[in-house]
Structure 1
């Protein structure tokens, strides 16, 4: 199967097309205070590590003041750094130090909902005629819409005897995006952080905004609710254009949208210079189990259908780790997937710990579950009279803690993440798999990641090159990218042993012509 001459139009040089992003899950990266949670001073202390790794962009998960029912995706104050992570001055120092090292920083921005601890909501609760009442969505009688965390999406507030709407946890009330005052508040928030120097935003569940109010009941399909009228509402695109206009009023900023879909035909609707620069391609990144054919098909689908660059990733805080989900614990397979992510056409996002091959953790009891989604599904299962073991199995299938364990820095207590008690379990294998050990091994996964990232950073063809071909045969993904008269060919072999025949005057950049299963080669022509 061969596809040729895809996206041959000239590419505009833009910093984010050159960037290798690295996602930092705030509570799990580096703790400088000994309280068991990561913080800005801890992350600042690791910037030299990230610089040496070759990272040129950081995505920070939420760090604004929050009760952290959902680890910061429930914002209580959009203008304050949560004390767990430090102070606003600590953030400013981190940002300054990152920029000194030529590392851009984008921050998670959650504007679909707020915490019920937010002052807006506290005011809205007081009375039906409170000025903040219409910041949220209230009904005398709820419809059938369900929460994405399980159960009804409506909660009765006894003060006014009305129900408020929450797509997620009951403590996370949805904002009313049909209210111009809400839009103005969010625009003000964006300007605050842009003025401080952040380089852009990752907009959380941005196609979930309730822009057109409460519509008809969602249909039931195969016994489950189909989220048809509560997401992708008609006014969402107009709302995104308003947000993007604010971002575009500051030079050289970037937006990435989390769109709640794994369908390219849905994702592509929200990517444009007037909406999101890129969207997270869950069709590619969240594949549930390994299939070379599936990965190739999604790669080709993105190339054919996306208006601009796709995003390339295989891990995040919302899915099991790549090492377990796709590589089945095989470091070579994980490296082959990393090679694809870092050499294909798109914007790569490395999830923290992937560079050393971190594994999932698993909860062995309800008490070990931290994730609100996992807890909710456990309680729902118990309410349905499941046994505790059955409930735990169900909970773990939804539990997002798997990929959130502390970064494994060394073999000391708590993997060198903290001197205190970690907020979540450390992976039990940390003593034999950590940064300090891998830094001493020139053949380690960390060393191989550094080499791959260095290649991408030094080769404009891997940043801007269009595909001359994109081929799949015998579980091998092959493509040639071309830019300014230079070609780089990449062959990633998920199949059997294969010997590559190089064209004349080729130069190998990485790998060998004798491809073992789960190996790769990069070579260049047109010097």
Structure 2
């Protein structure tokens, strides 16, 4: 297997709006990130993924871009970005940006011109139709919006302020490659590509199967007919010019799709964010927020499928959290007591981090941040949460049940301010969104001082993988596949073998291992697995 820096590194994701507010306006900014780069370095991460920091009216917190070559006013200036990139590189940290090119903002100059008439040089840069089909938008409502000036509808897979680009148009594609090269020439180290597998649409635009009031478009927008052609062209005209990490957000991507995207011989992308493990037993709009029981054997088999399916050809992404997901310890762990919170957060870290693939840590995950308790819909900031709330009410949910489900599922759970100390420490003024309720003990300052903290455990875990070719490149084998509380697997390279054992429950289990325990969330090791015990054993 070919060695690559992006396989051996650890990616730390920063949501700029919530990381650190340098200028005291309640909103995180680029200078705030630059000020705290040493924190990321000390953690042991080597790559930083920045959520969008381009100019945007912020209908969807920066995923609606109005100028790809300018910095969002809230976050600073291009000079601030250049200073961030320079300091990161001086510390040995790489920076990858978020590329959002399935859609733009409706305030982008391309759309302003395209929407003005049917006979200008940008008239077909977006997807315009005289008649709309039944597709629903991901953020609720119809995926089509009527434009008076053209007398036509435009497609928006997300918010109506996020019109979809027409990737069938070669001029659109070349404009995208040009902006990628602009950032590449600045010296960035790659891109995470937002909903990139949605850029090729079925050009017949058929109605989708009804899911409530609107049709499901995913069959006709995910992994579309020309997607591989477009990505190969993108690689040829941009990606191949740089030594980049490229990871695509793979809406609807299966193992076989991901192999096509990530097999090096196909010259497309390095990695894909898949969602099968994240969507397992998850309440969401598509299943009317049904709260299915989480069964560990089914969850483990998803990992097995992806680990074995991409082995030797593709490359996995390893993650439990990001800006679109809830906090992992609240979803999968146990937060009923501080001791169980700490043990389960560490156990979850060991469980996912040592599989084959590049690990991603979302800011605050390394502290064990929990979901935030929002007491009213007015406390939410996310457009998706507000739309979900409206849909729930329209489907007969009570306000109390709707809020309870949002507290379990909302993206705002991961977007609250990063806690630097017990008072918050994110800003000197009122933050743009409320703090998590647990920051009195879940914060950087407190956890740095505690040798047994989740933060210090993550540092050990990151260092363990960093210094082991076996834990990076070794083969994966799932053990105890049908066990309802144990997640056990091995990593093997040549004559070296590691065993990863995690008790994903409060149950006491007998499980004997042989070899040297190189990492554990308990001080001692026995033949008994205690509540949420996790250990890594070097067998030979």
The answer, yes or no, to whether TM exceeds 0.5 is yes
Specify the alignment match of 2:428 in structure 1.
419
Deviation at 1:20, TM superposition (A): 1.0
Among 116, 139, 142, the alignment partner of 2:106 is: 116
Q: 1 CA distance for matches of 2:276 and 2:420?
A: 32
Q: How many residues align?
A: 512
Deviation at 1:268, TM superposition (A): 4.0
**1:320 aligns to 2:326 (yes or no):** yes
Q: 1 CA distance for matches of 2:486 and 2:221?
A: 41
Deviation at 1:355, TM superposition (A): 0.9
Residue aligned with 1:28, SS: helix
Deviation at 1:517, TM superposition (A): 2.4
Specify the alignment match of 1:513 in structure 2.
525
Deviation at 1:437, TM superposition (A): 0.6
Specify the alignment match of 1:447 in structure 2.
456
Specify the alignment match of 2:91 in structure 1.
101
- Structure 1 residues 44 and 65, CA gap change in structure 2 (3 angstroms): same
Specify the alignment match of 1:171 in structure 2.
161
Residue aligned with 1:302, SS: helix
Q: 1 CA distance for matches of 2:408 and 2:454?
A: 28
Deviation at 1:230, TM superposition (A): 3.1
Deviations 1:248-273 (A, max 9, x none): 42342111010112744554443332
Q: 1 CA distance for matches of 2:91 and 2:481?
A: 39
Report 1:249-288 matches (<5 A): 249-261=240-252, 263-273=254-264, 274-287=267-280, 288=282
Unaligned stretches of 5+ residues in structure 2? 283-292, 336-340
Deviation at 1:387, TM superposition (A): 6.3
Q: 1 CA distance for matches of 2:475 and 2:300?
A: 16
Q: Is the 8 A contact 2:377 2:386 kept in 1?
A: yes
Among 470, 478, 492, the alignment partner of 1:461 is: 470
Among 440, 452, 469, the alignment partner of 1:431 is: 440
Report 1:337-348 matches (<5 A): 337-348=348-359
- Structure 1 residues 364 and 351, CA gap change in structure 2 (3 angstroms): same
Specify the alignment match of 1:54 in structure 2.
44
Specify the alignment match of 1:410 in structure 2.
421
Deviation at 1:361, TM superposition (A): 1.7
Q: 1 CA distance for matches of 2:63 and 2:192?
A: 12
Deviation at 1:418, TM superposition (A): 0.6
Q: Is the 8 A contact 1:247 1:253 kept in 2?
A: no
TM-score normalised by the chain length of structure 1: 0.91
- Structure 1 residues 389 and 130, CA gap change in structure 2 (3 angstroms): farther
Higher mean Cα deviation, 213-222 or 53-62?
213-222
TM-score normalised by the chain length of structure 2: 0.89
Structure with greater contact order relative to length (CA < 8 Å, sep ≥ 6): 1
Q: Is the 8 A contact 1:374 1:396 kept in 2?
A: no
Report 1:293-442 matches (<5 A): 293-306=297-310, 307-329=313-335, 330-380=341-391, 389=400, 392=403, 399-412=410-423, 415-442=424-451
Higher mean Cα deviation, 462-471 or 381-390?
381-390
Specify the alignment match of 1:485 in structure 2.
495
Deviations 1:324-347 (A, max 9, x none): 111132321221110022211111
Specify the alignment match of 2:227 in structure 1.
236
Q: 1 CA distance for matches of 2:398 and 2:263?
A: 49
Specify the alignment match of 1:83 in structure 2.
73
Residue aligned with 1:416, SS: coil
Q: 2 CA distance for matches of 1:194 and 1:59?
A: 15
Deviations 1:437-463 (A, max 9, x none): 111110111111111111111122111
- Structure 1 residues 246 and 516, CA gap change in structure 2 (3 angstroms): farther
Q: 2 CA distance for matches of 1:464 and 1:470?
A: 19
Q: Is the 8 A contact 2:333 2:344 kept in 1?
A: yes
Specify the alignment match of 1:3 in structure 2.
none
Unaligned stretches of 5+ residues in structure 1? 1-10
Q: 2 CA distance for matches of 1:352 and 1:221?
A: 34
Deviation at 1:471, TM superposition (A): 4.1
Residue aligned with 2:346, SS: helix
Deviations 1:16-60 (A, max 9, x none): 110111111110111101111111111111111111111111111
Higher mean Cα deviation, 165-174 or 287-296?
287-296
- Structure 1 residues 27 and 391, CA gap change in structure 2 (3 angstroms): same
Residue aligned with 1:424, SS: coil
Give the RMSD, CA atoms, in angstroms.
Answer: 2.2
Deviation at 1:280, TM superposition (A): 0.9
- Structure 1 residues 180 and 508, CA gap change in structure 2 (3 angstroms): same
Deviation at 1:525, TM superposition (A): 3.8
Q: Is the 8 A contact 2:145 2:153 kept in 1?
A: yes
Higher mean Cα deviation, 472-481 or 59-68?
472-481
Q: Is the 8 A contact 1:284 1:312 kept in 2?
A: no
Among 132, 137, 153, the alignment partner of 1:142 is: 132
Deviation at 1:391, TM superposition (A): 5.8
Q: 1 CA distance for matches of 2:489 and 2:359?
A: 17
Q: 2 CA distance for matches of 1:309 and 1:36?
A: 39
- Structure 1 residues 398 and 291, CA gap change in structure 2 (3 angstroms): closer
Q: Is the 8 A contact 2:184 2:242 kept in 1?
A: no
